[in-house]
Amino acid sequence: MRQNEFNRVNPENNTTAGTRTKPPLILAPAGNRDSFLAALAAGADAVYCGLKHFSARMAAVNFTIAELAQLTRLAHKQDKKVYVAFNTLLTPQDLKETARLIDQLAREVCPDALIFQDLAVIELARQTGFKGELHLSTLANVSFSAAMQLIQKDLGIDRVVLPRELTIDEIRSIANVCPPDLSLEVFIHGALCYAVSGRCYWSSYLGGKSGLKGSCVQPCRRIYTQKKQTGRFFACTDFSLDVLCRLLLKIPQVNTWKIEGRKKGPHYVYYTVQAYRMLRDHSDNRQSKKAALGLLDMALGRSGTHYHFLPQHRHSPIPVSGQTGSGLLLGNIRKSASKLYFRPSVELLPDDLLRFGYEDERGHGRMRIKRYVPRKGRFDIKTQSDFVPLPGAPVFLTDRREKALNQKIALMQESLNQLPAFHTSASSFQFAYPANRQIKRITTFEMNVYRRPEGQRADKNNGVWLSANLKKQITGRTAVSTWWWLPPVIWPSDENAIRSLLAFIISRGGRNFVLNAPWQKVFFKSAFKSVRDLNLWAGPFSNIANAAALQTLARLGFQGAIISPELGKDHYQALPEQSPLPLGIVLTGNWPLCISRIIAPGFKIGQPFTSPKGERAWVKAYQDMFWVYPAWELNLREHKDVLHKAGYTMFVNLKEPLPKGVNLKKRPGLWNWKINLR
């Protein structure tokens, strides 16, 4: 929990008795200096960016402390805000360096806020004396309304960045119970992941490059095969609210509109900021709306979708064709005699960057052109040594450096150059690990976690996933003997059913619960006047990976934590000695590649599908969620003794029923044990 100096009224929360007193901020992405300056030139109210480390967009160029200090000074001089993203999972070995970076930010950069997913940042901000706001990232997966009171009161959070999967009605339901000192941030434009925010392990599971660490290699965008059907079944178009943003103007608690795209160039940043300024400030002007849509068409992103925003008109973000390439489609490559060429649908300017085909297909490549080409003019393609384009392949415009924008950026650069030189100093800050405390000793045991309780009642340590259809199967005996696992994602429409089911289980003697987001603890406050006699553990989907996050859980009243299964041997062995809580670990079982709220049109649930590299998987539906499972299990059983000696006391085996036709492969299943999380 933050100290008193952090528990202040949020100066950006512009609500008075449910009415909006200020327009929402337009928050622009910046992955490099030119994009940052383009955001300011376009009139963005705030800019978010990352450092070279601990950012969920590590593929972006990002900034050094010195660079960011200068840019922040320029932004503040123009009365603009700067938010720094520290939104990656932090391993035990990350804490000291992260603490020093936050210390440097607090002393030398003075950003207006930190954006984070890992609960450790709350403790690090407290220790370093960071004075800015704390914004909980969409990767933290705050997806239901009851969480808001706990997040503001118990954690001292100033703003929550909501998941992109929410409908406008769900956003309203969350806003209606938002405390006065807590504001909401909503994505309005940018890339859309197939998985629910914070619930994707696909890239990590296949090679250690984690989306929660900012290193995702986007396996969801690859071509897969299911029986005779081939396609990009998990590749989404971009999210774009465009004119529907006017509906957000009526929700005063939503005080920030966020544009995704820290890997994008200055052209994209400038065009999207300009477009949404028009849509915000002139929402009733037909000409302004038309001009804004034209700017978005030329922003060089993927084609857009409203996704689930309108609950009565939900759109699938996965096109039937399966093509979701970024950039403006210019046409297709033609062949005349021995020459390759195409005729662009818009004029091309010198320095435009073109992409031919798709990254995982033959003939893919990029080319920056050197001369002007008129609309429908012929552009002859000279083959290069690193790629040979194929006839029929699509051509995309992916980046543009038009003269007018370059001039605006140059003017901003001149203003930046006029600021006094800034020199950074290394931080000597020492992170204070949680004080040694007497951990409540528990007997070491294994827990098997099932989907249903029947047939497993004799198991002494049996776990069952909560679902609404279980109520009739719960007896007093099963309520007492079972560890009840809450879902990894809870939507506003699920809240009443979850609350009712928990109250029913507790009334029959249930005491052991695994919560798969820290804020799920709020359901127990409403179910019982006192939760002191309940045994609440943080589950593996809480993505807990370090001692500072465990300290925050201890302050919230958790009795233990099952740590993130993404970690490696070195991380696993370091944690128990540092932890203020008893620890558990997923030892074996079916761990999902990701969890999603959508399924591609025509895709068959329960039938295996295969990647080009022969990796097999399948999808299972539970309630309204789709769990994507690999066709091999996580299996650390051969290392159980090592883990037990390190200090783990709970060992979890996830038991998932296999669909007909799905056979598990025999693979080591060590995940990141040998390579550690990257």
Tokens of 30: 């910046």
- Cα 309 from Cα 164, distance rounded (Å): 9
Indicate if the alpha-carbon torsion angle 542, 581, 486, 631 is positive or negative. Answer: positive
* pLDDT digit string, tens, across residues 349-360: 999 999 999 877
Q: What is the dihedral of CA 262, 267, 270, 273, to 10 degrees?
A: -60
Is the pLDDT at 439 greater than 70? The verdict is: no
Residue 53: pLDDT band (50, 70, 90) is: confident
The answer to whether residues 573 and 585 touch, using CB atoms and an 8 Å cutoff, is: no
CA angle 398/56/203 to nearest 5° reads: 85
* pLDDT digit string, tens, across residues 508-521: 999 999 999 999 99
284 by Cβ neighbours in 10 Å (0-12 / 13-18 / 19+) ranks as exposed
Give the residue, 455 or 315, on which the prediction is more confident: 315
Which region among 51-60, 90-99, 204-213, 522-531 has the lowest average model confidence (pLDDT)? Answer: 51-60
Architecture (CATH level 2) of domain 445-591+633-654: Alpha-Beta Barrel (3.20)
The answer to whether residues 327 and 350 touch, using CB atoms and an 8 Å cutoff, is: no
Q: Pick from 562, 559, 557: which is nearest to 541 by CA?
A: 562
Where helices occur in 567-639 by DSSP H, the ranges are 569-578
Residue 325: pLDDT band (50, 70, 90) is: confident
- Cα 469 from Cα 485, distance rounded (Å): 14
* pLDDT digit string, tens, across residues 627-654: 999 999 999 999 999 999 999 999 999 9
Is the pLDDT at 334 greater than 50? The verdict is: yes
Average pLDDT over residues 455-459: 51
pLDDT at residue 395, as a whole number: 95
* pLDDT digit string, tens, across residues 472-493: 888 888 899 999 999 999 999 9
Is the pLDDT at 532 greater than 90? The verdict is: no
- Share the mean pLDDT of the chain: 90
Is the pLDDT at 527 greater than 60? The verdict is: no
Average pLDDT over residues 187-191: 96
pLDDT at residue 11, as a whole number: 40
pLDDT at residue 454, as a whole number: 63
310, amino acid identity: L
b/e 224-255 (16+ beta carbons within 10 angstroms → b): bebeeeebbbbbbbbbbbbeebebbeebbbbb
| Residue 340 C-beta-side C-alpha neighbours within 13 Å | 17
How large a percentage of the chain has pLDDT more than 90? 78
Q: What is the dihedral of CA 550, 552, 558, 562, to 10 degrees?
A: -30
Is the pLDDT at 32 greater than 50? The verdict is: yes
pLDDT at residue 61, as a whole number: 47
Is the pLDDT at 56 greater than 50? The verdict is: no
Write down the CATH number for the domain with range 19-192+238-300+406-417. Answer: 3.20.20.110
Is the pLDDT at 6 greater than 50? The verdict is: no
| Residue 398 C-beta-side C-alpha neighbours within 13 Å | 17
pLDDT at residue 570, as a whole number: 95
Q: Where are the domains of the chain?
A: 19-192+238-300+406-417, 303-399, 445-591+633-654
Read off φ and ψ for residue 261, nearest 5 degrees: 140, 45
Average pLDDT over residues 612-621: 94
* pLDDT digit string, tens, across residues 580-600: 999 999 999 999 999 999 999
If DSSP states are collapsed to H, E and C, what string results for 642-672? Answer: HHHHHCCCEEEEECCCCCCCCCCCCCCCCCC
CATH class of 303-399: mainly beta
Is the pLDDT at 666 greater than 60? The verdict is: yes
- The yes-or-no answer to whether 303-399 and 445-591+633-654 have a common fold is no
Is the pLDDT at 107 greater than 60? The verdict is: yes
Question: Tokens 């006094």 sit at which residue?
Answer: 420
Average pLDDT over residues 400-414: 94
Give 3-state DSSP helix, strand, coil % of the chain, rounded to 5: 30, 25, 45
| Residue 197 C-beta-side C-alpha neighbours within 13 Å | 26
Rounded (10°) angle between helices 547-556 and 569-578: 50
pLDDT at residue 8, as a whole number: 32
Q: What is the CA radius of gyration of the chain?
A: 25
272, amino acid identity: T
How do beta strands 512-515 and 224-226 pair?
unpaired
**Residues with Cβ within 8 Å of residue 421, at least 6 apart in sequence:** none
The answer to whether residues 514 and 520 touch, using CB atoms and an 8 Å cutoff, is: no
Indicate whether this model's pTM tops 0.85: yes
